[in-house]
């Protein structure tokens, strides 16, 4: 089965085509575009399919990152993946960005791993996963100090863009940092999407933070002529 994976949760517009039969990424592309995922995603998808020499009709499953990450990017990726899955009549699975970063790193190091992203505003998004693929501490938004304390308590290695913030809280943690990735590798997103159950992992945004724009409550403009 071929799985097409999409990640627009960070500054990359990433797409990969993965063959589960032989555990091989047939093609992938992840240009660093900053913004404008909606405009660039169709072209990146076309490039990946052309490189693999595969048509859309051969895709058996889609996977898309659901966050945490960029509000706009996640919505673009999820909407695109769900629309494409509907058109192709194939299942689509949601993949957590923290899980897609933590699980492969924990397996490679054979150690507990904290994946942590810089969420700005003196906050980080963090998860701790074991080398057996079990979540030891679920994804949550917290202060860098709270994440640093969790890393020490969990005796884990650290990966992700938020890692330097934890080291500022406790310099001893600097030795545990194995990478400062801003997003999971799209190949790992594809591998995870290929084995997750779509019914248990829906393609729905997971932000871990409320939107900045909120409806006003208890306020209404007077109607004309009132």
For residues 44 and 111, membership in a common domain is answered with no
Q: Is residue 35 part of a domain?
A: yes
CATH number for the domain spanning 89: value is 3.30.420.40
- β pairing state of 14-19 and 24-29: antiparallel
Cβ pair 153, 109 in contact under 8 A = no
For residues 117 and 86, membership in a common domain is answered with no
For residues 86 and 57, membership in a common domain is answered with yes
User: What are the E-state strand segments in the chain?
Assistant: 2-7, 14-19, 24-29, 59-67, 92-96, 113-120, 123-129, 135-142, 157-159, 177-179
The parent domain of residue 108 ranges over 98-179
Q: Is residue 108 part of a domain?
A: yes
Stated pTM of the model: 0.90
Cβ pair 182, 200 in contact under 8 A = no
For residues 42 and 119, membership in a common domain is answered with no
For residues 26 and 92, membership in a common domain is answered with yes
For residues 28 and 103, membership in a common domain is answered with no
The DSSP secondary structure of 118-152, one letter per residue, reads EEETTEEEEEEE-TTS-EEEEEEEE-HHHHHHHHH
Question: What values do phi and psi take at 40, rounded to 5?
Answer: -90, -25
For residues 58 and 123, membership in a common domain is answered with no
First to last CA, the chain: 63
Q: Which two tokens stand for residue 153?
A: 């308590």
For residues 124 and 156, membership in a common domain is answered with yes
Q: Is residue 31 part of a domain?
A: yes
Cβ pair 193, 95 in contact under 8 A = yes
218: left (phi over 0), alpha (psi -120 to 50) or beta: left
Q: Is residue 19 part of a domain?
A: yes
Nearest Cα residue to 28 out of 47, 9, 53: 47
Tens of pLDDT along the chain (226 residues) come to 899 999 999 999 999 999 999 999 999 999 999 999 999 999 999 999 999 999 999 999 999 999 999 999 999 999 999 999 999 999 999 999 999 999 999 999 999 999 999 999 999 999 999 999 999 999 999 999 999 999 999 999 999 999 999 999 999 999 999 999 999 999 999 999 999 999 999 999 998 865 544 444 444 445 454 4
For residues 90 and 112, membership in a common domain is answered with no
Q: Is residue 208 part of a domain?
A: no
Counting other chains too, the contacts that 19-24 makes at CB distance below 8 Å and 24 or more residues apart are 20/194, 20/195, 23/191
Cβ pair 89, 57 in contact under 8 A = no
Q: Is residue 29 part of a domain?
A: yes
| Sheet of 2-7, strand order | 24-29, 14-19, 2-7, 59-67, 92-96
For residues 10 and 106, membership in a common domain is answered with no
Tell me, what's the pLDDT at 135?
97
Q: Is residue 143 part of a domain?
A: yes
Q: CA 78, CA 61: separation in Å to the nearest integer? A: 14
DSSP 8-class letter at 12? B
For residues 108 and 87, membership in a common domain is answered with no
Q: Is 171 helix (H, G, I), strand (E, B) or coil?
A: helix
CATH number for the domain spanning 147: value is 3.30.420.200
Q: Is residue 209 part of a domain?
A: no
For residues 84 and 105, membership in a common domain is answered with no
Question: What values do phi and psi take at 141, rounded to 5?
Answer: -95, 135
């Amino acid at each position: 089965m071929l799985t097409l994976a999409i990640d627009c949760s960070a500054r990359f517009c990433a797409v990969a085509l993965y063959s589960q039969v032989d555990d091989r990424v047939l093609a992938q592309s992840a240009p660093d575009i900053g913004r404008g995922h909606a405009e660039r995603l169709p072209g990146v998808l076309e490039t990946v399919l052309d490189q693999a020499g595969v048509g859309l009709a051969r895709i058996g499953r889609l996977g898309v990152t659901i966050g945490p990450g960029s509000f706009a990017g996640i919505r673009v990726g999820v909407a695109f993946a769900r629309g494409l899955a509907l058109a192709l009549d194939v299942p689509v699975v949601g993949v957590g960005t923290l899980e897609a970063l933590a699980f492969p790193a924990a397996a490679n190091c054979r150690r507990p791993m904290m994946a942590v992203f810089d969420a700005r505003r003196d906050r980080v998004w963090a998860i701790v996963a074991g080398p057996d693929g079990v979540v030891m501490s679920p994804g949550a938004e917290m202060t860098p100090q709270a994440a640093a304390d969790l890393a020490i308590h969990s005796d884990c290695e650290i990966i992700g863009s938020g890692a330097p913030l934890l080291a500022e809280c406790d310099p001893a943690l600097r030795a545990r940092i194995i990478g400062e990735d801003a997003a999971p590798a799209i190949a790992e997103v594809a591998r995870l999407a290929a084995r997750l159950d779509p019914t248990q992992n829906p393609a729905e945004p997971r932000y871990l933070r409320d939107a900045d724009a909120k409806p006003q409550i208890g306020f209404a403009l007077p109607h004309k002529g009132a």
